[in-house]
Structure 1
């Protein structure tokens, strides 16, 4: 294992949590001007367009010749297509608090799937650390007064499936990174997501006779700023960095970093919205950090990272 490559992988994982923590604020801003499906369309349009520039200029070289591209298409159905679709419909029947509770269990699902499909094993201290991190998130959410209303079974099932889609993506992506570079996987994912969400958005507006409203949000500078953050940072950068991290560290170790976004959301709310930080926020954050550190420090000696002889070359 190249120490510098491993360090960069962990930095990417932490950066993802930071970006995702602020994404909730920008999503709220975007949804003030556009419907969820339109927001997703513009979000992935921005990310795909930005990545297409260095690809077309030859600065990032992609090589799909002789590779099983259908596997990357299948990966895209898990994330972003599966995750965002299931989450959007799930939140129509459940609360955001219920979504946060269920999403906290994503690292647990990832550990199970990584064991079944990648034969990744975790030590008992690692398992306890993952539970500690999940417990920190649950503690914060429950102390805020959120819980699960089991009468909303349709929404709960859809939200659970969205978490399963993310866990499946982490596991499947790690396997595909043996033959694809992070850039090659990311570019196909973004392109497929953009085309699918655009088609769905156009169909919806055409049916409702509201095609003129599709581009109306672009008249707002706040909407454009939110979309640029969500599309470039929260989609493109996180996709590239997470795929890079998954090529070098186990899926089970990578997944637990997602819980750090809860801490970032708390800090963002306090700094930008003036929200109060309570004692339970601090206690829960401490549990999350301890869990993330335990998961990544208390395991067995790391094995050699996933070999990849097809890295994207920069010209």
Structure 2
């Protein structure tokens, strides 16, 4: 299997995992606060990568210079991205969030052109727009109304989308300088330290430390947080870093629109929601957009 094909498989897997994560985030929000969710999420993610390193006998040598160089990437993803995402999802519906996050390819294309000098062809622009329109069409037909959503929640999701776009751009170069394991480890470690520091510090000041551990007594919460920690945090960090080491940032970002399609399909399969004709039409538009963007894309040397 070629490296390019592996990168596409990684990108599709990334979109699939992210698509299901919205459903699991909603489950955890019924039990815990956003800060506690992020703390538990990255605790499991960090435990997961430590176990992985022990079993694979990988020894990482990370110098202070390397840590400082990777830190800005880790701040964007997972810190900023997941913070704004979970806070936004606490205020608006996942459908509205999906519409706003459809702006990720647009932001990424603009930033990649500005910072990485990746030139988009006219074909890419057309098919990226088509993919975004497919997402917006499907969600609006599903009953979402982005114009009446909570302003604060919408703003938080928009900031999350911008953070993801900046991450797509900056990770493009770092994936050529550092191994995937080093990048994933540093990103996960930062999430673990910062989110637990904020959550535990808040509970200690309020004298509610018992509330921090209380969600772990709920089976649904544990299942959801394991998915979010091991797959949606740790897994997607590795998959996205790998894909970005082989694909242009603008190409990778389009796969994020698959996530919305997966979110709706998950509702049909697991929540017994009705599958309408517009789901099928919107899904086809998204797929055509993704295929067209990658077909007309021209690889740039950065």
TM bin (shorter chain): over 0.9
Give the TM-score normalised by structure 2: 0.93
1:8 paired to 2:17: no
Name which of 252, 255, 271 aligns with 1:254: 252
Relative to structure 1, is the Cα distance of residues 87 and 264 closer, same or farther in structure 2, using a 3 angstrom cutoff? closer
Where structure 2 has 5 or more consecutive residues not aligned to the other structure, the ranges are none
The farther-off stretch of 288-297 and 26-35 is 26-35
Q: CA deviation at 1:62?
A: 2.3
3-state SS of paired residue (2:120): coil
Distance 2:52 2:270 in 1: 33
Indicate conservation of the 8 Å contact 2:127/2:288, yes or no: yes
Alignment map for 1:95-114 (pairs within 5 Å): 95-114=93-112
Distance 1:32 1:88 in 2: 12
Distance 1:241 1:92 in 2: 26
The farther-off stretch of 164-173 and 64-73 is 64-73
Distance 2:31 2:91 in 1: 22
1:233 paired to 2:231: yes
Alignment map for 1:100-139 (pairs within 5 Å): 100-139=98-137
RMSD, matched Cα: 2.0
Alignment map for 1:208-223 (pairs within 5 Å): 208-223=206-221
Q: CA deviation at 1:219?
A: 1.5
Distance 2:250 2:29 in 1: 32
Give the TM-score normalised by structure 1: 0.89
Where structure 1 has 5 or more consecutive residues not aligned to the other structure, the ranges are 307-315
Question: Counterpart in 2 of 1:86?
Answer: 84
The farther-off stretch of 195-204 and 18-27 is 18-27
3-state SS of paired residue (1:149): helix
Question: Counterpart in 2 of 1:34?
Answer: 32
Relative to structure 1, is the Cα distance of residues 21 and 58 closer, same or farther in structure 2, using a 3 angstrom cutoff? closer
More helix by share: 2
Question: Counterpart in 1 of 2:45?
Answer: 47
In the alignment of these two chains, the number of paired residues is: 302
Alignment map for 1:270-285 (pairs within 5 Å): 270-285=268-283
Relative to structure 1, is the Cα distance of residues 77 and 213 closer, same or farther in structure 2, using a 3 angstrom cutoff? same
1:161 paired to 2:172: no
Question: Counterpart in 2 of 1:309?
Answer: none
Residue by residue over 1:6-33, the C-alpha shift from the partner in whole angstroms, topping out at 9 and shown as x without a partner, is 1111000011111112212222222222
